[in-house]
Amino acid sequence: MNKQEVLKKFIKQLIIENYSEQTIRNYTSALKLFLKYIKNLKAKKVTNKEIQNYLYYCKTEKKYSYSSMKQVVATISYLYKKILKKPVPSALEVKFRRPGVLPAVLSVKEITKILNATRNLKHKTIVLLIYSAGLRLNELLELKIADIDSAVMKIHIKQGKGKKDRYVMLSENVLKLLREYYKIYRPKKYIFEGQYGGKYSPTSVQNVFRRALKNAGINKKVTVHTLRHSFATHLLDSGTDIRYIQELLGHKKLETTQIYTHISSYSINKIKSPADKLEMVI
């Protein structure tokens, strides 16, 4: 098979196995880079050494993160198992050490500053909706008008990460903004649509957030996804049971949600230092 045939068969198999659109895009992008790297070889003839060199190249030259490296391994493994029908090369049996980096979080005060500095109604609604429900960027872009249920104050997240549905709360403040937004913009299918219809682009949302940060005078290195981290941390700060937060975020494993216990002021402040038991004269 030539490169195009491999890609076509690869994508077809992912679709058959019901992978999400986002996963298909990510896997396809990773496969294209791998095939480009081994362009002078046939995939079936690639050795363990060459795969190890590629992983080393991704880490040292491309500066791939922990999650990106995991995706590279998953992509190449899928290629061998499902498309080439060959045993997965032993070079892909890698156990990556998870970095101990905590996610950046914005305070409630900073979130308020961002919203107050965002004058455009559409942009303000986007930022508040992501934060209020802890949405992933793709989940926001996939939201349709029918997914907002004001009768029970819930938002139906359909086919989120892992192709799973879930419900999240609908904020009273968000509902007010959505109603004002709808009167002006009149979206036809998706809640947030581009200038000429269709889904709003992820790049547009990222640009909206960057401008909001600049207007609010916030210089932290944060992204749109930081709003989701902030949502989870602020819930934990207010004493919400972490198992409920897990459900709201759509995490498969509780361990994924537990990272927020490391950055929550609630979990830190409720523990008394042993120094407080000392009878000292100050």
Phi-psi category of residue 236: left, alpha or beta, with phi > 0 → left and psi -120 to 50 → alpha: alpha
The residue annotated as part of the active site, out of 123, 199, 229, 251, is 251
Q: Which of these is catalytic: 122, 124, 136, 229? A: 136
Task: Indicate if 225 belongs to the active site.
Answer: yes
The answer to whether residue 251 is catalytic is: yes
Among residues 3, 32, 166, 225, the one annotated as catalytic is 225
Catalytic pick from 19, 54, 78, 260?
A: 260
Whole-angstrom Cα distance, residue 191 to residue 179? 11
Beta carbons within 10 angstroms of residue 151's beta carbon? 6
Residue 161: active-site member: yes
Active-site entry in 82, 158, 161, 166: 161
Residues 6+ apart with CB under 8 A from 6: 31, 35, 43, 79, 83
SS (H, E, C) the chain: CCHHHHHHHHHHHHHHCCCCHHHHHHHHHHHHHHHHHCCCCCHHHCCHHHHHHHHHHHHHCCCCCHHHHHHHHHHHHHHHHHHCCCCCCHHHCCCCCCCCCCCCCCCHHHHHHHHHHCCCHHHHHHHHHHHHHCCCHHHHHHCEHHHEECCCCEEEECCCCCCCCEEEECCHHHHHHHHHHHHHHCCCCECCECCCCCECCHHHHHHHHHHHHHHHCCCCCCCCHHHHHHHHHHHHHCCCCHHHHHHHHCCCCHHHHHHHHHCCHHHHHCCCCHHHHCCCCC
| 166 classed as catalytic | no
d(CA 251, CA 240): 16
Set 124, 228, 229, 234: catalytic member: 228
As annotated, the active-site residues are 136, 161, 225, 228, 251, 260
